[in-house]
Amino acid sequence: MDTFLGRYKNLIVLAAILFAQIIALAVQVRRPTQGGDTRLLRLWAISAVTPVEKAVVHTQKWVHDTWNTYAYLRGVRRENRELRAEIDRMKVEDARYAEDARMARRVQALLAFKEQYVDTTVAAQVIGTSGSEQSRILYLDKGSKDGIKPDMAVITPAGIVGKIVQVFSDSSQVLPINDQFSGVGAALKSSRLQGILRGASNGVTTLQYVMSDEKVEPGEEVITSGGDRIFPKGLPVGKVVSVEPGKDLFLNIRVVPSARLDQVEEVLVVTKITEKMPDSKDLGPLRASDILAERLPTVPAKPEVDATGKPKPGAANGTASGATSATGTAATAARSGAAATSAANKPAAGSSTAVASKPNGAATATHGAPSGTTAGSAGAPKAPKSAAAGGTRPAGTVAKPLNGAGMATAPHANPTAPVPSPSPANRPANGGETRPPSKQSKPVPEQPPNANPQQPSTPPNGEQPPQ
Amino acid sequence: MSSRVIPFRGSLTSRDQAAVHEFSWPAVIFIPLVAVLIQIFIPVRARFLPIIDLPFMVTIFFAVARRHPISGCLTGCAIGLMQDLFAGPSHPLGMYGIALTIIGYLASSLGLKIDVENPGSRFIITYLFFVAHQGIYYGVAHGLLGQVQQWSWSHVAISALANAVIGIFVFKFLDRFKQR
């Protein structure tokens, strides 16, 4: 026995060490750490190393900044001139974007669209990495003392970087988007196709779960979709560099991240995301063209029929125009009061929007619905008064005609919610409140659908559309 | 504080005897520690540097210098576990530990048979063991843990070449810590 142990001592020790580590692996895989839990060994190691890393990084940064600020000033004048020229150019662009943004906010307000804003961020410095190719973890110099929590988004002005996975008192770990364990809800900017951006062990990021019959071009921008509830919607992610057919009917879309993940040194940790409605006070008057531009076509609904099989009068089932398929049934909403479908026909621009359910259950926003109706249009000879069932605007409610277009919403759970609209005609619809017909109320004009969808129809009674 | 001389069991070299080097305790503790620290810090400024695996080189160096398999195992295990500590929550402790334990054992066993003092043999040893290290890691991650890993021969070959070249200089530097 002694001879055996002596002869194979080395191998026995090797086997024992390997066995112990395999058992340790098995235990960890079986009981993975949840949430912010950390192995004690890791906590000690990281706590011991972090001060050293911080000291080295901050000293290096100080030296670098001092040199660049006071000593190395070559080319600063030229750079200053170039930057001024760029500022002038961007001012011109800014004016155009501001107008676009105002229009977008008006439409968002109209649709009661809640938008996520990056509210508060904490600037942090990258002080370390995992040091291996297989794991791309980054270490930041900010931790729980600075308000950092797990699952917070980490971004740079160029694009997203990753998310916080573990937080210590003075440092935190970031899982970059190119790590093999990372997944980000992403969408293609122009086509709005959504997928999941995944990393790989070799650091390549791919957008997955986009069907192979979709058309995706290299160079297309990828943004966050907001579906992961970590990154706010619309942040830049990267650009498509190649598209290949993958397996299981999905495309294999390779994406190059916008943020230089191999050079990132300073990042912003999003500590607070605010979800709010766009402020409609400063948006100016609502323009019919803005609304019509954002209208979406709806699926034509079957006309309501009575017992004899004839179409019910007032059922908004008219086809808008030959060029468009803007049809809808206001009567659908009237049918049960709980139905989530209501629509209005808008022959003017040949499009209609049916807002079936609002994010916050906000009540009706019936811009331009002809007076006396909740949902009505020139395309529908008579909109049913009962369409106001369930908390939508009752019959006789003031509604400003808007280019003959109407948009109606179905009853909601919270009919008292305010309707965000700059138009005075759109007041919050109170569920049980019935207002008498106003002087502004006008009868629904019977107007044939506009055959030319490009040509806005004349508003009822020759009124000019509100600008 | 000394270096012993042991006879070669193999015949792969013209030399009949090779020295077994020893190191001071501070060197044994701090060289691997500094190697791991540099490994996690340097890529902040040069993110391509993870292909240079300093802890791996230190493991090889200690293993072939001591020429003792058990010592090689333990050194590899300790350095590997240190690397695991900083690799993040999705990286269980033991993945690098297992890989470097085996590498330490093999390197020290090989050190008993061949001359590992000249740059040529160091280059070859580092190159081959780096490929083996990557293979063992892949086997642990893919086979034991079921993780999806990409294996690229070209990438491994280039990384091994880079490590072998830099390893020559690192070994030359670490030779200063040998006690003769």
Q: Identify the CATH number of the domain in which residue A201 sits.
A: 2.40.10.340
Residue A118 has pLDDT above 70, yes or no: yes
Shortest distance between the Cα of B117 and any Cα of chain A, in A, equals 23
Confirm whether B1 is domain-assigned.
no
Which among A276, A299, A316 is the end of a domain? A276
- Cβ pair A25:B144 closer than 8 A: yes
Alpha-carbon gap, residue A116 to A123, rounded angstroms: 20
CA atoms within 13 A on the CB side of A174: 32
**Same domain, yes or no: A266 and A308:** no
- Whole-number pLDDT of residue B180: 62
- Is A15 touching B (CB cutoff 8 A)? no
Can you read off the two tokens belonging to residue A135?
A: 């794991």
- Is A137 touching B (CB cutoff 8 A)? yes
Minimum CA–CA partner of A18 in chain B: B98
In chain A, which among 447-466 make CB contacts under 8 A with chain B? none
**Same domain, yes or no: A343 and A251:** no
Confirm whether A366 is domain-assigned.
yes
| Three-class DSSP category at A124 | strand
Residue A424 has pLDDT above 60, yes or no: no
Confirm whether A57 is domain-assigned.
no
- Cβ pair B101:A14 closer than 8 A: yes
Confirm whether B2 is domain-assigned.
no
Which among A276, A303, A333 is the end of a domain? A276
Domain count across chain B: 1
Alpha-carbon gap, residue A25 to A32, rounded angstroms: 10
Can you read off the two tokens belonging to residue A125?
A: 């410095």
**Same domain, yes or no: A286 and A270:** no
Enclosing domain of residue A329: 279-461
pTM of the predicted structure, to 2 decimals: 0.61
**Same domain, yes or no: A295 and A320:** yes
**ipTM exceeds 0.85, yes or no:** no
Shortest distance between the Cα of A48 and any Cα of chain B, in A, equals 11
Residue whose token pair is 């340790």: A24
**Same domain, yes or no: A265 and A291:** no
Domain count across chain A: 2
Residue A292 has pLDDT above 50, yes or no: yes
> A346 near A323, Cβ under 8 Å?
no
| Three-class DSSP category at B65 | helix
Which among A276, A304, A324 is the end of a domain? A276
Mean of pLDDT over chain A: 67
Confirm whether B101 is domain-assigned.
yes
- Cβ pair A130:B70 closer than 8 A: no
Q: Mutate which of A11, A39, A135 to test chain B, going by most B C-beta atoms within 10 A?
A: A135
- Cβ pair B91:A25 closer than 8 A: no
pLDDT 10s digits, A24-74: 888 887 765 555 566 777 888 888 888 888 888 888 888 888 888 887 888
Confirm whether B43 is domain-assigned.
yes
| Among A227-236, A419-428, B92-101, the range of highest mean pLDDT | B92-101
Q: Out of B87, B93, B159, whose CB is closest to A130?
A: B87
Enclosing domain of residue B37: 23-177
> Facing residues of A195 across strands?
A186
Range with the poorest average pLDDT among A284-288, A407-411, B137-141, B165-169: A407-411
- A357 φ, ψ to 5°? -145, 130
Confirm whether A53 is domain-assigned.
no
Alpha-carbon gap, residue B88 to B90, rounded angstroms: 6
When pLDDT is cut at 50, 70 and 90, the band that residue B115 belongs to is confident
Mean pLDDT of A383-394: 37
Confirm whether B122 is domain-assigned.
yes
**Same domain, yes or no: A343 and A370:** yes
**Same domain, yes or no: A270 and A192:** yes
- Whole-number pLDDT of residue A113: 61
What are the residues whose beta carbons fall under 8 Å from the beta carbon of A162, sequence distance 6 or more?
A: A138, A154, A174, A175, A176, A177, A179, A182
Shortest distance between the Cα of B134 and any Cα of chain A, in A, equals 10
Can you read off the two tokens belonging to residue B45?
A: 């400024």
Shortest distance between the Cα of A58 and any Cα of chain B, in A, equals 13
- Cβ pair B83:A263 closer than 8 A: no
Confirm whether A312 is domain-assigned.
yes
**Same domain, yes or no: A305 and A252:** no
Shortest distance between the Cα of A150 and any Cα of chain B, in A, equals 12
When pLDDT is cut at 50, 70 and 90, the band that residue A381 belongs to is very low
When pLDDT is cut at 50, 70 and 90, the band that residue A290 belongs to is low
Residue B131 has pLDDT above 90, yes or no: yes
When pLDDT is cut at 50, 70 and 90, the band that residue B164 belongs to is very high
> A163 near A151, Cβ under 8 Å?
yes
Kind plus residue range of the DSSP H or E element containing A6: helix A2-7
Q: Out of A14, A181, A262, whose CB is closest to B105?
A: A14
- Whole-number pLDDT of residue A437: 40
Kind plus residue range of the DSSP H or E element containing A118: strand A115-129
| Three-class DSSP category at B124 | helix
- Whole-number pLDDT of residue A308: 63
Shortest distance between the Cα of A73 and any Cα of chain B, in A, equals 22
When pLDDT is cut at 50, 70 and 90, the band that residue A211 belongs to is confident
- Cβ pair A129:B141 closer than 8 A: no
- Cβ pair A25:B109 closer than 8 A: no
pLDDT 10s digits, B17-62: 566 778 888 888 999 999 998 888 877 776 667 788 899 999 999 9
- Whole-number pLDDT of residue B117: 79
